[in-house]
């Protein structure tokens, strides 16, 4: 069983409109696009945070999170703050997914760069390579922005994808964001017949 702490809307006194807190770390779905249903674990490699979500918007959604400085590093990397996370995401949108992209931002709307200290454990091999159940390929990008692309798979409507990764901060941030973008299949071209009948009066 993953995690010893379970925080849900029904049982957690600190849960407000999709906000869940464990050991001072707060995760929230307040920016929309998905529903954060449950959070368990403590953020270590042996007991990662497990975020259970339903993605309702085919364009994706944004997870916000706050980590107090005293939380520290729970994965053994060189960063001041770091944690391991498993995301279990249900496809509750109207389209199947053929990829899934994660992007970190320290300022909402601005991709994370080298100077903000926020990354997917950049400079460390702890927790890498990231893995996914549902996709066969993982592509990491540390510069000029922090992104992870999962592809070579298909998540049907009602299906789930499980992603394993780490997140780190070299300096404490007030709030940070994880953009979650599912990839939608490209519509297939319908072949056009070379023989076209033109109706005449």
pLDDT digits (tens, 9 = 90+) for 39-78: 999 999 999 999 999 999 999 999 999 999 999 999 999 9
Mean pLDDT, residues 101-113 taken together: 93
Asked whether the predicted pLDDT for residue 15 surpasses 80, the reply is no
Cβ 129 vs Cβ 148: under 8 Å:
no
pLDDT digits (tens, 9 = 90+) for 117-156: 999 999 999 999 999 999 999 999 988 889 999 999 999 9
Nearest to 82, CA basis, from 90, 73, 91:
73
Q: Please, which pLDDT band fits residue 102 given cuts at 50, 70 and 90?
A: very high
Q: What is the pLDDT of residue 200?
A: 44
Asked whether the predicted pLDDT for residue 11 surpasses 80, the reply is no
Asked whether the predicted pLDDT for residue 5 surpasses 60, the reply is no
Residue 7 Cα distances to 3, 146, 157, 166, 187, angstroms? 11, 28, 26, 21, 40
Q: How many residues does the chain have?
A: 201
pTM for this prediction:
0.84
């Amino acid at each position: 069983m993953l995690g010893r702490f379970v925080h849900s809307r029904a049982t957690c006194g600190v849960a407000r409109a999709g906000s869940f807190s464990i050991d001072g770390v707060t995760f929230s779905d307040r920016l929309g696009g998905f529903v954060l249903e449950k959070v368990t674990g403590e953020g270590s490699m042996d007991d990662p945070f497990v975020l259970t979500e339903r993605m309702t918007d085919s364009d994706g959604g944004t997870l916000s999170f706050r980590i107090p400085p005293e939380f520290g590093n729970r994965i053994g990397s060189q960063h001041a703050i770091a944690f391991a996370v498993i995301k279990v995401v249900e496809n509750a949108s109207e389209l199947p997914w053929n990829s899934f992209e994660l992007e970190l931002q320290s300022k909402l709307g601005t991709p994370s760069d080298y100077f903000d200290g926020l990354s997917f454990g950049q400079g460390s091999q702890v927790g890498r390579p990231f893995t996914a159940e549902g996709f066969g390929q993982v592509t990491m990008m540390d510069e000029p922005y922090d992104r992870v692309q999962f592809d070579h798979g298909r998540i049907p409507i009602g299906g789930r994808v499980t992603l394993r990764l780490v997140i780190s901060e070299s300096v404490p941030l007030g709030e940070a964001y994880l953009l979650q973008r599912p990839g939608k299949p490209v519509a297939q071209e319908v072949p056009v017949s070379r023989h076209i009948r033109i109706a005449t009066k």
